[in-house]
């Protein structure tokens, strides 16, 4: 059985207005302090569960949407975890209940009388869990335990080399390191577990059907639309010219529609309560910054209102579905559209399809993360967010938009929501660290003998 990582997002309205939000703040403060205190991260007790990679609580303030409707404040809880959702919910409802119960008590729909606490909590989590549209994993197929153990193995192997006194012969040197690491891990057999699974099978098996449908649909649509039209035009038949003309006319018409709709989106943005004055922006920025760069890793939570037009919402779904396919079957080696710094990222819509949520855990600074996106993935970004109010103007859905780096960054910043609490099970490891640690650990597990492989292995230390 290939270990699988998943994500859970629970969104529920907060009951009791300002008072409840203050109460929640009081609950989060000591937890936050506990997560930020000094000491090596790998010696700390896990937060909530041993299977949780990342967890966060975010309070979404009351907001008025572009439709003029007032939304109540919501509590957002999101985890990225190992195993199945059922097991995860069970574990949360039992083991994590002491932390979660006092928090979710403040949410509408939490029925403390539904049964014993675990039952009530489980029912609540299940009822308010929102389906994920697209999910990306940076380091595939590795559990929290594995990531933390392989980090240890890497440090041990490195320490052996640095301590010196090893045989000069590569093979002998490797055997000595392997022996010492094995001893530190608890004796013979500690390195005998199977090497890490290939990164792709897990989800392929789970969603084989969807993959086939997805690829086929994409291929057929792409080939039919583009090549069909091009071949038709290229032919010297009498049809060529009119078809070309019609194509140009349709594109021009779509472009006009897009322009009009962009105006509508801009008006909608102004109508919503998202537009902050400069004082409000300052405060918002300060609150975001206060949570950032505490560790090597950072997090991002962004909420945007989708445009009111059904076509926009349908297009958004299509694009995010495409991203999910890509994330699941293409970007399996630690790069999402060329961006190397993402541990997990996911998209979903909530609020009856009216709001888009983006959640990610990434390496390094916000600025470098956003710049990576602008440099490598401006088109997919634009394709996703151009359906939201306030996004920089686009042309033909994928041009313009995020290519205006500074404007896109302002947009992203304005729609980002500061977390009340954010937890990482390995806050100082980068995606590359995890990747390399696995290779080093697998190299030890495999009992290498080939000189070329040995040289390669030593180069990784």
Partner 1 sequence: LGTSIEADDVQTLILNGYRHLEGACFLRLRFGDPARACRFLSELEDRVNTGDSNPDRAVHVAFTHRGLAALGLDAEILASFSRPFREGMSRRHRRRVLGDVGENDPRHWDWGYSPGSEGPGWVDALVLVYATTDAGATAAAQEMSDLPGAESIRFDALATPGSLIRDGVPGEHFGFVDSIANPALRGTRSDASATAIAPGEILLGYPNEAGLLSESPHMMAGAGGSGSLPRGDFGRNGSYLVVRQLEQRVGAFWSYLFQGRERAEAVRLAAKMVGRWPNGAPLARWPEREPPARRDQGDDFGYASDPDGLRCPIGAHVRRANPRDSVPLVDGAEASLRITRRRRILRRGRSYGAAVPGWPDPAKMRAANAPDGGRGMHFLCFNANIESQFEFIQQSWLNARKFAGMANDADPLVANRDWPANGGPNDFTIPERGGLHRLRMLPQFVRMRGGAYCFMPGRRTLRYLARLR
CB of 167 to partner 1, least distance (A): 14
Answer yes or no whether residue 399 interacts with partner 1 by CB under 8 A: no
Return the range that interacts with partner 1 (CB under 8 A); candidates 80-88, 180-188, 264-272, 358-366.
Answer: 358-366
- The span from the CA of 222 to the CA of 363, in Å, is 34
Minimum CB–partner distance for residue 309 and partner 1 (Å): 29
Do 139 and 334 contact (CB within 8 A), yes or no? yes
Does 395 bind partner 1 (CB under 8 A)? Our answer is no
Closest approach of partner 1 to the CB of residue 26, in Å: 23
Does 295 contact partner 1 by CB under 8 A? Answer: yes
436 part of the interface to partner 1, by CB under 8 A: yes
Residue with tokens 């990679």: 53
Cα-atom radius of gyration of the chain, to the nearest Å?
A: 25
Q: How far is CA 252 from the centre of its chain?
A: 36
List the alpha helices (DSSP H) in 37-81: none
Which position among 79, 430, 438, 441 is part of the footprint of partner 1 (CB under 8 A)? 430
Alpha carbon 393 to chain centroid, angstroms: 25
State which of residues 185, 405, 442, 446 lies at the interface with partner 1 (CB under 8 A): 405
Q: Which range of residues in 54-62, 191-199, 235-243, 284-292 is near partner 1 by CB under 8 A?
A: 284-292
Q: Are 346 and 330 in contact (CB under 8 A)?
A: no
Nearer to partner 1, 83 or 405 (CB): 405
Q: Is 420 in the site for partner 1 (CB under 8 A)?
A: no
Instruction: Please report how close the Cβ of residue 299 comes to partner 1 at its closest, in angstroms.
Output: 15
| Nearest C-alpha neighbor of 327 from the set 347, 297, 311, 307 | 347
The reply to whether 43 sits near partner 1 by the rule CB under 8 A is no
Cα 34 to Cα 388: distance, rounded to the nearest angstrom: 37
Copy the structure tokens of residue 228: 């069909």
In angstroms, give the least distance from the CB of 168 to partner 1.
10
Dist. CA 358–CA 387, nearest whole Å: 14
Residue 154: is it exposed, middle or buried by C-beta count within 10 angstroms (0-12/13-18/19+)? Answer: buried
- When asked if residue 316 is in the footprint of partner 1 (CB under 8 A), the reply is no
- Residue 382 as a binder of partner 1 (CB under 8 A): the answer is no
Where does this chain touch partner 1 (CB under 8 A) — which range of 20-28, 111-119, 139-147, 401-409? 401-409
Task: Report how far residue 152's alpha carbon sits from residue 313's, in angstroms, rounded to the nearest whole number.
Answer: 46
Q: Which of 172, 289, 318, 449 binds partner 1 (CB under 8 A)?
A: 289
Contact 324, 452 (CB under 8 A): no
> Applying CB under 8 A, which residues contact partner 1?
38, 154, 158, 161-162, 278, 285-286, 289-290, 292-296, 338, 340, 363-365, 367-368, 371, 375, 403-406, 428, 430, 432-433, 435-436, 458-459, 461
């Amino acid at each position: 059985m290939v270990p699988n990582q998943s994500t859970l997002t629970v969104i529920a309205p907060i009951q009791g207005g300002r008072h409840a939000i203050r109460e929640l703040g009081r609950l989060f403060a000591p937890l936050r302090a506990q997560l930020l205190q000094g000491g090596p991260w790998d010696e700390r007790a896990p937060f909530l569960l041993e299977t949780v990679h990342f967890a966060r609580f975010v309070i979404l303030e009351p907001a008025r949407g572009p439709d003029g409707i007032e939304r109540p404040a919501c509590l957002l809880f999101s985890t990225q975890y190992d195993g199945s959702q059922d097991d995860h919910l069970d574990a949360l409802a039992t083991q994590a209940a002491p932390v979660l119960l006092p928090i979710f008590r403040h949410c509408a729909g939490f029925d403390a009388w539904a049964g014993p606490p675990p039952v009530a909590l489980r029912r609540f989590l299940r009822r308010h869990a929102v389906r994920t549209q697209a999910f990306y994993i940076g380091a595939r197929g590795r559990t929290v335990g594995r990531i933390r153990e392989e980090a240890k193995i890497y440090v041990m192997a490195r320490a052996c080399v640095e301590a010196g006194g090893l045989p000069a012969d590569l093979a002998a040197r490797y055997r000595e390191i392997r022996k010492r690491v094995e001893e530190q891990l608890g004796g013979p057999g500690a390195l005998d577990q199977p090497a890490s699974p290939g990164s792709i099978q897990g989800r392929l098996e789970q969603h084989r059907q969807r993959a086939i449908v997805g690829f086929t649909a994409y291929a057929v649509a792409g080939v039919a639309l583009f090549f069909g039209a091009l071949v038709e035009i290229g032919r010297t038949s009498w049809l060529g010219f009119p078809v070309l003309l019609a194509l140009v006319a349709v594109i021009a018409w779509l472009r006009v529609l897009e322009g009009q709709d962009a105006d509508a989106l801009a008006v909608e943005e102004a109508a919503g309560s998202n537009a902050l004055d400069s004082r409000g922006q300052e405060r918002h920025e300060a609150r975001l910054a206060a949570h950032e760069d505490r560790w090597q890793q950072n997090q991002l939570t962004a909420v945007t209102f989708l445009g009111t037009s059904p076509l926009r919402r349908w297009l958004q779904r299509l694009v995010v579905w495409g991203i999910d396919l890509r994330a699941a079957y293409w970007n399996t080696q630690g790069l999402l559209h060329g961006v190397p710094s993402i541990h997990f990222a996911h998209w979903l819509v909530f609020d009856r399809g009216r709001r888009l949520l983006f959640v990610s855990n990434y390496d390094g600074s916000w600025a470098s993360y956003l710049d990576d996106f602008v440099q490598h993935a401006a088109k997919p970004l634009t394709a996703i967010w151009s359906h939201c109010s306030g996004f920089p103007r686009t042309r033909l859905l994928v041009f313009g938009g995020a290519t205006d780096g500074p404007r896109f960054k302002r947009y992203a910043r304005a729609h980002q929501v500061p977390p009340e609490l954010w937890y990482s099970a390995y806050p100082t490891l980068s995606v590359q660290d995890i990747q390399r640690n696995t290779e080093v650990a697998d190299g030890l597990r495999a009992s290498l003998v080939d000189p070329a492989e040995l040289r390669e292995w030593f180069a990784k230390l």
